[in-house]
Amino acid sequence: MASLHKRALAGLAILFLVMAFLLFGAAGTLRYWQGWAFLACYFAASIAITFYLVWKDPALLARRMRGGPFAEEEPAQRVIMSLASLGFIALIVLPGLDHRLGWSHVPPAAVVAGNLLVLLGWLGIFVVFRENSFSSARIELAADQRVISTGPYAWVRHPMYAMALLMLLGMPIALGSWWGVLIVVAIVPALVWRLIDEERFLARNLPGYSEYRDRVRYRLLPGIW
């Protein structure tokens, strides 16, 4: 567990450095309070959830650490995750450029609201982790995996994607960029492609998933889709 703990924190430290480099490099300055506030919120939540998983569910943490385009076995999923990774980078770089060039004028209250959306997204992801210990970062089945239909899964079939989308929407607003919201719009098709492909995989390989899919009609938004 100690090794997992160290690897998880090292991964977060590297991610912080990369995100900070992209963000402040694009902004051309460290005098970017929106950037510092966002990083504080994003990584405070990340660290808190990491410590929780180290304590309560190290197997889930290990699964979450095996994500990324090259971790996927299916070629389509490698393409999807590559697009999603590029989209995430753009969500960091474009707001930094926006700050440098002064394209957007986002009031401080909206910036605070954006950070609250980021934190709310993390809170929702935490609830998903507590409910579903099988929520891997890649499309796969654990040896003892079963269908989870309680908690947020009683409302929508993909609550983690819903919460991730909420977080992504909050990111450019937290960083003071209205233009960055367009990147979120561009990411949505990749997210939809991924979850539909994941549903096909689960229906083929996870006993009971087809019946669950018939019972819970909505994928992301109750009453809508």
One-character DSSP codes across 113-142? HHHHHHHHHHHHHHHHHHH-TT--SSS---
Model confidence at 3, pLDDT cuts 50, 70, 90, reads confident
DSSP letter string over the chain? -HHHHHHHHHHHHHHHHHHHHHHHHHHT-S--HHHHHHHHHHHHHHHHHHHHHHHH-HHHHHHHTT-SGGG-SSHHHHHHHHHHHHHHHHHHHHHHHHHHHT-----HHHHHHHHHHHHHHHHHHHHHHHH-TT--SSS---TT-----SGGGGT-S-HHHHHHHHHHHHHHHHTT-STTHHHHHHHHHHHHHHHHHHHHHHHHHSTTHHHHHHH---SSSTTT-
**32 lies in a domain?**
yes
The parent domain of residue 43 ranges over: 2-215
Residue 34 lies in a domain: yes
Please indicate, yes or no, if residue 210 is contained in any of the structural domains. yes
Question: What is the amino acid identity at position 135?
Answer: S
**CA-CA distance, 130 to 128, in Å (whole number)?**
5
Nearest to residue 63, comparing CAs of 147, 12, 132, 118?
132
Owner of token pair 């970017």: 32
Give a yes or no: residue 224 inside a domain.
no
pLDDT tier, 2 (very low <50, low <70, confident <90, very high otherwise):
low
pLDDT at 142: 76
- What is the Cα 52 distance to its own chain's centre? 17
Nearest Cα to 26, choosing from 176, 144, 190, 196? 176
Query: Is the pLDDT confidence value at 46 over 60?
Result: yes
Asked if the structure places residue 222 within a domain, the reply is no
Summarised one tens digit per residue, pLDDT across range 146-166 is 888 898 999 999 999 999 999
CATH code, domain carrying 34: 1.20.120.1630
What is the total count of domains within the chain?
A: 1
Residue 92: inside a domain: yes
For the stretch 92-130, pLDDT in tens is 999 999 999 999 999 999 999 999 999 999 999 999 999
Does residue 221 belong to any structural domain of this protein? no
Residue 12: inside a domain, yes or no? yes
pLDDT confidence bin for 68, thresholds 50/70/90: low
